[in-house]
Structure 1
């Protein structure tokens, strides 16, 4: 990691020490540049948005779309590199479950992400198998511990996020809390619990977890604001694939209109001059 990226990664770690900040999710270089131009101090990638941009399904139960339906590690790392190279702000990488079940798989994924300039990344405990949707808790902890070891070996600043999908697979809030604390104890800097969207659940997580909490907004259009999330004690907020899904909604609507032979969709397009200004070459 070069000196500038190391400085940005250290600044990204500092964002997790106090307050509450928004970390919007990009899926390609263009979306990353738009978000950076809006003034956000850091961005994250979205595995869902990246998958959709490649014409692939998001990481889900394998039986629904097959093992070959998901984006492989090599392809995902290539896109992460494009995003980190496109902006001059920290980028946190959505690394799904680490692209393999073993702690060694996770360590290799973390090492690659750091080498590509990522300032942070999350490792989740979702297996993709409907019968056993979460990794055995002891294995899940070992995977986080291996991720931390990879961070230490790199000697680079890197915010490691332990994600538990316990709420998404109906394991319940106690399981989410137990797993989250176990991941923190194993070396995670922050816990991400997707599915926590109401004030009572979020407040419980903030109270019971022994470290910073990341929640995701935008999955269902939650009415909670950043100010309310900050008051609840949330440390960071992401939006997952919601920006990408919104863009694709507009694209589908425009395509539907084109089949009817009209072009009113173009009335709301961004002028090319604005996009050219945003996408001008970065100053070195």
Structure 2
């Protein structure tokens, strides 16, 4: 599938549902379940390899896993690239080309500053989006404007944050992003407001208590990610089965 054909899967009203996977085996299972595309999650993929989230996994190990996943399914593959495993723009571009060559057609690229807190400046992040898009990847530009507060135990569903996100989306679109990812935002009214104001397909991450996928499509959402949920659920089931088998 070409990048343009993958982009065409992003339609508000009929959102592309991505049940995130972490290795070749889970990719095969999700593909057989009827998925239109395969997507990794950074926490899930790293955790399955024994690493913490936040680019603790070596980039070469990520590429090796991506190659295995790409070899297990003919579906388009989008990879959680985090911040690109690079601060330098040239290294970022090199990494993006390597990811594309490994079999990815798209990627998430986030604007948080790993280990530092806060977000990158808009101009700098736009340069990074442009570099990754130039490598041939469909860029799902992720803003952590909402996820940061959520992880800090604060309310991410704030109108002021939506306005900030709308401004970032406009800049990211000009830089070459193909989709805008807003993990942490869960309020239906604010999601609808953002979708109506952004000229990019909008990607939300499923959180507990959110409306159904069909209802989110009606709000204007074009892509729904399940994030680390599937991996966590699978690991919880594994732990329960192991405890039962071991008599614990």
**Segments ≥4 residues shifted beyond 6 Å:** none
Q: 2: CA distance between counterparts of 1:14 and 1:188?
A: 14
Q: 2: CA distance between counterparts of 1:212 and 1:202?
A: 12
TM-score (norm. length: structure 2) = 0.89
Question: Residue 244 of structure 2 corresponds to which residue in structure 1?
Answer: 257
* Higher relative contact order (CA closer than 8 Å, sequence separation 6+): 2
The number of residues matched between the two structures is 237
Q: Equivalent residues in 2 for 1:20-169 (5 A)?
A: 20-59=15-54, 70-130=56-116, 132-151=117-136, 158-169=137-148
Question: Residue 179 of structure 2 corresponds to which residue in structure 1?
Answer: 190
Pairwise CA RMSD of aligned residues?
1.9
Q: 1:137 to 1:94 in 2, by over 3 A?
A: same
Offset of residue 30 of structure 1: 0.5
Structure 1 runs not aligned, ≥5 long: 1-6, 60-68, 152-157, 262-284
TM-score (norm. length: structure 1) = 0.78
What per-residue deviation string (whole Å, max 9, x for no partner) do you get for residues 186-226 of structure 1? 11011111111120121121012121101111xx4234111
Q: 1:221 to 1:183 in 2, by over 3 A?
A: same
In our comparison, the structure showing a higher alpha carbon Rg is 1
Q: Is the 8 A contact 2:143 2:182 kept in 1?
A: yes
Q: 2: CA distance between counterparts of 1:184 and 1:84?
A: 27
Q: Is the 8 A contact 1:103 1:144 kept in 2?
A: no
Q: Is the 8 A contact 2:11 2:223 kept in 1?
A: no
Q: Is the 8 A contact 1:8 1:89 kept in 2?
A: no
Q: Equivalent residues in 2 for 1:155-234 (5 A)?
A: 158-170=137-149, 172-217=161-206, 220-234=207-221
Q: 1: CA distance between counterparts of 2:11 and 2:88?
A: 30
Offset of residue 9 of structure 1: 4.5
Q: Secondary structure at the match of 2:204?
A: strand
